[in-house]
Amino acid sequence: MGSATREALASSKKALAALPTGALTLSTGEDLFAAGRIIGESAQFRSLLGDPSTEPAAKKALINAVFSAGLGADALSLLTAITTAHWSTPDELLAGIEEIALRVVAATVPAGTSIESELFAFGEAVASDAGLELAIGSTLGSPAAKVSLIDALLEGKASEQTVVIVRHLVQQPRGRRIAELLGRAADIVADAANQSIATVTSATPIAPEQLARLTTALGRSYGRELKINQIVDPTILGGLRVEIAGDVIDGSIEARLNDLRLRLAG
């Protein structure tokens, strides 16, 4: 991420924070996702908005001309703030629109609902079925067919917010695999609630009291509340592998054996 993008993302988050939280709706997030897809489908449109030499006033006029009739007031305001900022690349502009849309959706989640957990569960289901992963991730399938498949898979099993997010991700993957799409979305949603996600892999299920101690210790180390995703993988033999905020803490027996093999081979 370039320095221009970091500044643009920060200003976009400020524009979001300036809106009354209670006024944000799921439709606002859907509008932003849809606008991002329209911009993404036109290389010329995307390049013009992502060009630092294009004056902010010209960008604003273009956004109004294309979207004023189709977007709600809050979505249009946010889209204008995002697109008139100076992004390092057009692709990072698209990523910025997606991130702000994710944060809007996160703000509409009902109490007691964890869309991070729902995204994780869906990712695990897809990863366990090669045919399903191909159907969702293939560049050959039409976006409409993928959306229909998502609706069939998640109907009655996930919140509206999760369905909206997954629908968007499969329509605009931007070269990313489904696991990366879902993982990045979950990280942003968690960050919107001042949390981070830790994925803990163990050979057998972790006892609740041990998991609580691990959560507390990791939270203290990283300075924020954590959401834990658990994966049971017998192939690691024993110990734990923890992935959090781009860090990997691998204390599994598998990792130790591999390290020993490398030492012996050397």
pLDDT in tens, 182-239: 999 999 999 998 888 888 888 888 888 888 888 888 888 888 888 888 888 888 788 8
Domain boundary pick from 172, 191, 210: 191
Residue span of the structural domain in which 15 resides: 3-106
Per-residue pLDDT at 127 exceeds 70: yes
pLDDT in tens, 37-87: 999 999 999 999 988 888 999 999 999 999 999 899 999 999 999 999 999
Token look-up 């007031």 returns 73
Domain boundary pick from 135, 160, 191: 191
Interstrand relation of 225-232 and 195-202 (parallel, antiparallel or unpaired): parallel
Q: State how far the Cα of 198 lies from the Cα of 211, in Å rounded to an integer.
A: 11
Higher per-residue confidence, 137 vs 181: 181
* Residues 202 and 251 both lie in one domain: yes
State the total domains in the chain.
3
* Residues 135 and 229 both lie in one domain: no
Q: State how far the Cα of 210 lies from the Cα of 244, in Å rounded to an integer.
A: 18
Domain boundary pick from 150, 167, 191: 191
pLDDT in tens, 141-167: 899 999 999 999 998 999 999 999 999
pTM, entire model: 0.85
What local confidence, expressed as pLDDT, does residue 250 receive?
Answer: 78
At 171, is the pLDDT very low, low, confident or very high (cuts 50, 70, 90)? Answer: very high
What is the CATH number for 234? 3.40.30
Q: State how far the Cα of 148 lies from the Cα of 144, in Å rounded to an integer.
A: 6
